[in-house]
């Protein structure tokens, strides 16, 4: 096998620079030490895979803000809530109207974390029945 040419070395250097610009450092992720070794899953209900697109109306966190309509991907569901992937950052306590097959459900964001730049994973709990939520979405 021959040694890489100067052109190959320059290309590899450019690729490394591009990767470093796209990938953010993980110092924030690992800066808090290891996870608790005594972690227990405290979910009340079992989760089931539930992958698909859903429309949402993200209600504003601040009074006077405007609701934002967008699309999310659902990843799993339980009797108590669901998790989703969103291009918009959501915040704990924020409410979202989830639209699935013309049914509306109000959910509250319990947690949200960045998967990578421009993509967030969020866990949400159901707040009320679909009948009550239809009135909220109008």
Show me where the domains of the chain are located. Answer: 48-137
Q: Is the pLDDT of residue 74 over 90?
A: yes
- Where residue 4 falls among pLDDT bands split at 50, 70, 90? low
CA distances from 111 to 1, 18, 82, 132 (A): 51, 31, 11, 24
Q: Is the pLDDT of residue 59 over 90?
A: yes
Q: What is the dihedral of CA 22, 25, 30, 31, to 10 degrees?
A: -150
Distance CA 16, CA 20 (A): 6
- Where residue 32 falls among pLDDT bands split at 50, 70, 90? very low
Q: Which superfamily, per CATH, for 48-137?
A: predicted glycosyltransferase like domains (2.40.10.220)
76 or 62: which leads in pLDDT: 76
Q: What is the pTM of this model?
A: 0.63
Distance CA 49, CA 34 (A): 28
């Amino acid at each position: 096998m021959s040694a890489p040419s100067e052109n190959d070395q320059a290309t590899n250097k450019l690729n490394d620079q591009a990767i470093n610009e796209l990938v953010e450092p993980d110092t924030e992720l690992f800066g808090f030490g290891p996870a608790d070794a005594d972690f227990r899953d405290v979910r009340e209900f079992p989760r089931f895979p539930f992958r698909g697109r859903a429309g949402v109306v993200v209600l504003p966190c601040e009074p006077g803000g405007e609701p934002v309509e967008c699309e999310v991907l659902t990843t799993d569901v339980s009797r108590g809530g669901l998790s989703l992937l969103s291009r918009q950052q959501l915040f704990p306590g924020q409410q979202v109207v989830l639209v699935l097959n013309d049914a509306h459900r109000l959910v509250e964001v319990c947690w949200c974390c960045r998967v990578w730049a421009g993509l967030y994973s969020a866990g949400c709990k159901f707040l009320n029945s679909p009948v009550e939520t239809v009135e909220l979405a109008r």
